[in-house]
Amino acid sequence: MSTALPIDLRSDTVTRPTPAMRKAMYEAEVGDDVLGEDPTVNTLEREAAERLGKEAALLVPSGTFGNQLALFTHCPRGSEVVLSDDSHIVQHEAGASAIIAGVQLRVFSPAAGVPSWEEIRPRIRRDNDIHVPPTSLVALENALSNGQVMGLPEVQKIAAGAHACGVSVHVDGARIFNAAASLGLEVSSLAAPADSVMFCLSKGLCAPVGSMLTGRREFVELARRKRKIMGGGMRQAGVLAAAGLVALRRMTLRLAEDHEKARQLGEAFARTGLFEVSPIPVRINMLFVRFRGPHAGKESRFVEELARRGVWCYPPSDGWVRFVTHHDVPADRLPATCRIVGEAAAAAVA
Ligand SMILES: Cc1ncc(COP(=O)(O)O)c(C=O)c1O
């Protein structure tokens, strides 16, 4: 059993606020944000909008809140949202789309792991047939929950196609800064084709709480009203926004370090010769593995062997084990982590 602090690779949501964030939170100037009087929230909303290249932005409590608020704002009740079946909105938001926006989710399984316009186009329904729910939104993810990244040309193609059909596009960009870093693009370029983009301050960017919903001014003002309906109007939220500003200004600049750690971890898995690794190449701070051939099905045992050695990850899902690197996984502990991967794999298949 390891006595060192665990290496927590469950998610980048486990990151803790940095000392600079805690200081900024302590010193934050605050006011009543529901009255529009919190200067720190106002600064965060302005800087987030500028960074994403959008007219306006709104601070919301979580990524789930931001996505569901986007649907609630874009979509008439009873309309349909087209999106990938493994997207966070479908899999991990507790069915909120049916409860809050009252929409139907029309899902598809992207053949290449990344949605294409060819897959979305036939699912858009805008005719006058009274039997048919009209499509109101296409929802994309970038980066995707499967560790993939959508390139700018595909996002542009989907947005242009959807817009030509009179359908808006929302991007769940919980990790859009990771996607932009992976593609070597400014985040504003990647966000440009979408009508709204949600991004999280609280994952790889280390803020304790908070996500931003960005878009056109009129959209964000409507979302502000709907945020109140959802109980998301926060008062002296500048304490949180202060950490968010550190996240936005500084922590967005270092994500390539986390991607490099994930790449090295991917190589460690590949070196064992026992695992299938996805995606190849590793694109962001997230990778998935499963045993190949005769050892398939031993993933739970592998996760237990890792935990015994102080490396944490979530139990397998659909046979795949996910690993997420982040700020709080020190680079100097990576060699030991890679060694433990080999030992735990050998123990699991013994
Ligand atoms: C792709 C994606 N979207 C949305 C969310 C939701 O964020 P939150 O946990 O802040 O609600 C997550 C959370 O991990 C996510 O991975």
- Using CA positions, which residue lies closest to atom 8 of ligand 1? 63
Q: Are 302 and 344 in contact (CB under 8 A)?
A: yes
Whether the predicted pLDDT of 266 surpasses 90: yes
The DSSP code sequence of 136-200 is EEEEEESS-TTS----HHHHHHHHHHHHHTT-EEEEE-TTHHHHHHHHT--HHHHHTT-SEEEEE
Whether the predicted pLDDT of 279 surpasses 70: yes
Q: Tell me the average pLDDT across 16-31.
A: 98
Cα distance between the two ends of the chain = 18
Q: Tell me the average pLDDT across 140-151.
A: 97
pLDDT (0 to 100) of residue 71: 98
- Using CA positions, which residue lies closest to atom 14 of ligand 1? 13
Q: Tell me the average pLDDT across 142-147.
A: 96
Q: Cα(173)–Cα(149) distance, rounded to whole angstroms? A: 11
pLDDT (0 to 100) of residue 120: 98
pTM attached to this predicted model: 0.97
pLDDT (0 to 100) of residue 128: 85
State the DSSP code for 5.
Answer: P
DSSP bridge pairs for 137? 81, 168
Does the bond joining 39 to the residue before it have cis omega, within 30 degrees of 0?
no
Q: How confident is the model at residue 126 (pLDDT cuts 50, 70, 90)?
A: confident
Q: Are 240 and 59 in contact (CB under 8 A)?
A: yes
pLDDT (0 to 100) of residue 115: 98
**What type of residue is 105?**
L
Rounded to the nearest angstrom, the distance between the alpha carbon of 322 and the centre of ligand 1 is 15
Whether the predicted pLDDT of 3 surpasses 70: no
pLDDT (0 to 100) of residue 271: 94
> What Cα–Cα distance (Å) separates residue 344 from each residue in 287, 288, 339, 348?
17, 16, 9, 6
Ligand 1 pocket mutation, candidates 88, 89, 90, criterion most atoms within 8 A of CB = 88
88 Cβ inside 6 Å of ligand 1: yes
State the DSSP code for 6.
Answer: P
Q: What does pLDDT average to over the chain? A: 97
Whether the predicted pLDDT of 281 surpasses 90: yes
Q: Cα(207)–Cα(49) distance, rounded to whole angstroms? A: 18
pLDDT (0 to 100) of residue 298: 96
pLDDT (0 to 100) of residue 70: 99
- Using CA positions, which residue lies closest to atom 6 of ligand 1? 63
Whether the predicted pLDDT of 2 surpasses 90: no
202 Cβ inside 6 Å of ligand 1: yes
The DSSP code sequence of 21-46 is HHHHHHH-----GGGT--HHHHHHHH
Ligand 1 pocket mutation, candidates 92, 97, 100, 140, criterion most atoms within 8 A of CB = 92
Q: Cα(274)–Cα(342) distance, rounded to whole angstroms? A: 9
Rounded to the nearest angstrom, the distance between the alpha carbon of 94 and the centre of ligand 1 is 12
Task: Tell me the backbone φ, ψ of residue 309, rounded to 5 degrees.
Answer: -100, 10
Q: Cα(52)–Cα(119) distance, rounded to whole angstroms? A: 27
